[in-house]
Structure 1
Amino acid sequence: MREVGDSAASGAGAGDMSAEVMVAGGVPLRRNGDGSWSEPPYPAVCANGHELGPYRVTIGVSHCRCGILHRTAQCNQCGATYYLPRPTDRCESTALDGRHG
């Protein structure tokens, strides 16, 4: 993957592994066939195997000390949470006012 501002090989679209990809704020973005950019899709099932979809998942963000807003998808059945981008060792949740979360 490339950082914002770096050029990458252009491809046919989202299903094409050679499609242009860049990283913006820690989130990998893929160039769509119409020239727009999109984030990777959230998973179809949670880590515990529950189907995710309308009324089965809560989408949000987690504020972090690393300076990135991690996008989240939380399973409404078991609470398993998917983060984009994935937290690293230097990540720690914070409240909106900067307090430890």
Structure 2
Amino acid sequence: MSTNTSLILYDAGKRVGEISDWSVAALPPIYKNVLGKSVLSTPANDECTFVSPKPVTRKSQLVVIEDGKWEITLRLVMIKGGTAVTAKITSKVALKKS
């Protein structure tokens, strides 16, 4: 990711601030053994980690706006110290230009 990318965190529609240390791990589909047959599973949601400028809770409804172009909806997986967040990306939608 380029260094000039702006990632703004929102919690239930309220701006929290700009996040740091954003990284995304793409999780590919894997083969599973089901009833003796090898089956290709659907890919899991991508997982991201970042540092929030303010503490968040498990009940937070987080959305990240990337460069004013993308809205990324997150589902929390783990929080360490209130600001170190691990989350699954549930959707990534292009924002409409006005």
What's the TM-score once normalised by structure 1's chain length?
Answer: 0.24
Structure with higher strand content: 2
What's the TM-score once normalised by structure 2's chain length?
Answer: 0.25
